[in-house]
Structure 1
Amino acid sequence: MREQGRVRWRRFAAIFITATVAASLLVAAAVQGAVGVSFVVSGRKIKIRIDKLRAFDVVEFDTTLEAKDGRKIPVHVASNRRTEAFGFCQSYLFDTPLGPATFKLTGGTNGEPQVSEGTVLYALRITNDKTISTNVKLGLDASTLESVPGVSGPPGFVGQHTDVIVAFNSQQTLVATTSNKLITPDSVLRVIPGVHECF
């Protein structure tokens, strides 16, 4: 019985990883305009922890996303032209016939950062031990700001633009995130039985 349980997990992980790769390709296509940029989110929480983060040409505003069940989820949107993340961890929980499991991706842990271009975060909460912001402009109309092509805020909403943000021990709780390009050195992707989130 013990060995059978292991075999089921291996098969499940292989199927899940294939599905995750396909979903990632769809997200990338949406950002690049091949699919509509309006999308329906699951509503589940994604957790990201980064030891040190550098983000360039950052645009921020607030809006809502729609979940599959029709719920409107208020989110803080943070988009940027380029991000460098040292000590990166991303996780989310999902249900299986064998109980809860954790999808977990780590990288950028050996001195070389994870680099992303055209990243958009749809956040419920972001906390940092320390944040250094350069050239901040707050109170701009969100519809006039665009660091990622096709991603801007609703007219009349408050927007913010920052040239550079450096954050330490960043913990982000998101409902979705997209990137045009993502390079993750020394990456490790795991599907782990049980609850093993990044924070």
Structure 2
Amino acid sequence: MESQVRGGTRWKRFALVMVPSVAATAAIGVGLAQGALAASFSVSGVDFKVTAQQLDGRNLLQYGSVATGKDLNGKDAVHPVVVSGFSDATITKMCQSVVQPLPFGLGDVTMTLKAGQGDQKIEATNIYLDVSELSTDAQFTNIDIGVAAGEGKRDANGNVVTKIQPGADGKTPGGSPYGFAQRADRAVLSNVQQRAWATTAGSFKLPGLSLSLSGGKHECEPAPKI
């Protein structure tokens, strides 16, 4: 079974756009409101923007959670996120930008990281994306919508290959194992634009990596469309 979705969120609005169902978004929102989902680790006070021409991931598990940390003033902050986990993924033409305010009213500085711009693709294993906003064209293969997050994604032999992230103690789940989730054998995301609070991966191979700093706010532009 294959399912294709075209759409996105308005920037500055939290939404689970990868689920082709209004009920799915509502279920995630209820879980967050009831405090059923816990942060997996503390995040910085600044989010970041990522664009990519394509992300091709296998063994998707996607569920709602919250990222907790401190804002730039040191106050407690809670951010609702959708965690998208893949057992492995390839990424084409990725750009990541972080805008960091400088002290003493000196303005902003932007750190920009680019990789996979040529023929070689970025390769990642056990990658989890904690996303607050997303705009993309998505295609899923063998998708299950409405499973419990603790069910994870299993391979042909029944082994769990993608599971809910651990919590801050490294043992208990970082989200409710009974919360709403979806899983799929494969998810291909094209023309990706997202804001995120964290990305973790078991391994991350970045061919052609380049890093630059520039004064002011200069976030990544959308990658060339497929």
Q: Is the 8 A contact 2:101 2:107 kept in 1?
A: yes
Aligned to 1:173: 195
CA deviation after TM superposition for structure 1 residue 85, in Å: 0.6
3-state secondary structure, aligned to 2:119? coil
Deviations 1:136-191 (A, max 9, x none): 00111112216446615413211111111112111111011111111111110112
Aligned to 1:42: 44
Query: What residue ranges of structure 2 are gaps of 5+ in the alignment?
Result: 1-38, 154-160, 166-172, 222-226
Q: Matches of 1:149 and 1:155 in 2, distance apart?
A: 10
Q: Is the 8 A contact 2:164 2:177 kept in 1?
A: no
Deviations 1:78-97 (A, max 9, x none): 01111111101011110224
Q: Matches of 1:83 and 1:106 in 2, distance apart?
A: 17
CA shift in 2, pair 1:55/1:109, >3 Å? same
Aligned to 1:23: none
Name the stretch that deviates more: 137-146 or 47-56: 137-146
3-state secondary structure, aligned to 2:207? coil
Aligned to 1:145: 152
Superposition map of 1:43-192 within 5 A: 43-68=45-70, 69-97=75-103, 98-128=106-136, 130-145=137-152, 147-148=161-162, 151=165, 153-192=175-214
Paired letter, 2:135: T
TM-score, with normalisation over the residues of structure 2? 0.67
Q: Matches of 1:133 and 1:44 in 2, distance apart?
A: 31
Paired letter, 2:117: T
Root-mean-square deviation over aligned CA pairs: 1.8
Percent identity of equivalent pairs? 26
Q: Is the 8 A contact 1:124 1:173 kept in 2?
A: yes
Q: Matches of 2:45 and 2:199 in 1, distance apart?
A: 12
3-state secondary structure, aligned to 1:71? strand
TM-score, with normalisation over the residues of structure 1? 0.75
CA shift in 2, pair 1:150/1:108, >3 Å? same
Aligned to 2:33: none
Tell me which protein shows more helix as a share of its residues. 1
Equivalences, count: 162
Query: What residue ranges of structure 1 are gaps of 5+ in the alignment?
Result: 1-36
Deviations 1:96-136 (A, max 9, x none): 244201111001111211111111111111111x2211010
Q: Matches of 2:40 and 2:135 in 1, distance apart?
A: 27
